[in-house]
């Protein structure tokens, strides 16, 4: 699971794009080819194959997986509120912004509150 570095969201933080690109680069092809990291064989490490990706932040047209977060929404808000540096990033407050987004994401697929992803199976 990582940020979608190519999302069409208007306000994706550059750090989120960088994390997404780095995670995708580590996922394929480097993850399952021993030749990328020959020093790992010396340490007894085997290549790992990633079987699926969940990319966060897709546009409504790009999403192909929705997760119902109704029962975990309060926990999500509590976790976000612990990040003091993020408080000013949410105009109108963390709760209002996240609730509006979760409701808007869930509505087209009949969920009260949801998060959407681009899901890719790599096998």
Q: Are strands 2-3 and 52-56 parallel, antiparallel or unpaired?
A: parallel
If you search the block for the tokens 């109704």, which residue do you land on? 70
Tens place of pLDDT per residue across the chain (123 aa): 998 888 765 567 888 889 999 998 888 776 777 787 888 889 998 888 888 899 988 777 789 999 999 999 999 999 988 887 776 777 778 888 899 999 999 999 999 999 999 998 877
SS3 27: helix
Q: How far is 56 from 63, CA to CA, in rounded Å?
A: 9
Q: Are strands 114-121 and 52-56 parallel, antiparallel or unpaired?
A: antiparallel
Q: Domains for the chain: give ranges and CATH numbers.
A: 2-121 (3.40.50.10320)
Structure tokens at 86: 């993020």
Per the CB < 8 A criterion, the answer to whether 68 and 114 are in contact is yes
Q: pLDDT per residue over 40-72, tens digit each? A: 889 998 888 888 899 988 777 789 999 999 999
Per the CB < 8 A criterion, the answer to whether 43 and 110 are in contact is no
Which pTM does this prediction carry? 0.79
Q: How far is 71 from 114, CA to CA, in rounded Å?
A: 10
Structure tokens at 82: 């612990």
Q: How far is 58 from 7, CA to CA, in rounded Å?
A: 5
- pLDDT score, position 92: 76
């Amino acid at each position: 699971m990582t940020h979608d570095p190519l999302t069409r969201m208007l306000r994706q933080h550059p750090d989120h794009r960088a994390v997404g690109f780095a995670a995708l680069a580590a996922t394929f092809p480097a993850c399952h080819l021993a030749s990328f990291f020959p020093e790992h064989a010396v340490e007894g490490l085997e290549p790992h194959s990633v079987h699926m990706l969940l990319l966060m932040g897709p546009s409504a047209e790009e999403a192909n997986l929705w997760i119902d977060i109704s029962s975990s929404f309060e926990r999500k808000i509590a976790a976000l509120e612990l990040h003091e540096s993020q408080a000013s990033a949410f105009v109108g407050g963390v709760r209002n912004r996240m609730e509006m987004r979760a409701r808007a994401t869930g509505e087209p697929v009949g969920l009260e509150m949801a998060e959407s992803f681009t899901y890719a199976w790599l096998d």
